[in-house]
């Protein structure tokens, strides 16, 4: 999707929430200049929202008509994980664990995740 240079994640969330609940919005920016590259990823809570979002292609957002396409990122990530498992790559793996209670300690988590 080609986006307006001044777009913010909240603008995208508001726009796409018309077709479904938005879980996450990420605007891709240049690592050196920090300027937007004009593309973003919008993650929905329900997969049924994706075709509806694609139907928004051509709509104007901040005066710019947008193009919405399904991302191949999830498919590529799953294929890479399957490939690593087949190779027996037993190296370290980083996991995101969220929504934890404030009283949970690092030792408690280690007890759950360590072999």
Q: What's the mean pLDDT in 58-77? A: 82
Say how many domains are in the chain. 1
**In which residue are the tokens 């051509």 written?**
58
Q: Does residue 112 carry a pLDDT above 90?
A: no
Residue-number span of the structural domain to which 15 is assigned: 9-72
Q: Is residue 2 part of a domain?
A: no
CA–CA distance, 67 with 1 (Å, rounded to integer): 4
Question: The domain that contains 67 carries what CATH number?
Answer: 3.30.70.330
Q: How confident is the model at residue 84 (pLDDT cuts 50, 70, 90)?
A: low
- For the chain, the average pLDDT equals 84
Q: Is residue 78 part of a domain?
A: no
Alpha-carbon radius of gyration of the chain? 18
Percent pLDDT > 90 in the chain is 23
Could you tell me the maximum CA-CA distance found in the chain, to the nearest angstrom? Answer: 53
Does residue 4 sit in helix, strand or coil?
coil
């Amino acid at each position: 999707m080609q986006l307006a240079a001044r777009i913010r994640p909240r603008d995208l969330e508001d726009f796409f929430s018309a077709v479904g609940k938005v879980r996450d919005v990420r605007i891709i920016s240049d690592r050196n200049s920090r300027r937007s590259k004009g593309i973003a990823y919008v993650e929905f809570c329900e997969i049924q929202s994706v075709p509806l979002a694609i139907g928004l292609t051509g709509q104007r957002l901040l005066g710019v008509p947008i193009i919405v396409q399904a991302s191949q990122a999830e498919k590529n990530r799953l294929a890479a994980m399957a490939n690593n498992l087949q190779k027996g790559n037993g190296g370290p793996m980083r996991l995101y664990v969220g929504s934890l209670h404030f009283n949970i300690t690092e030792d408690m988590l280690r007890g759950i995740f360590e072999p």
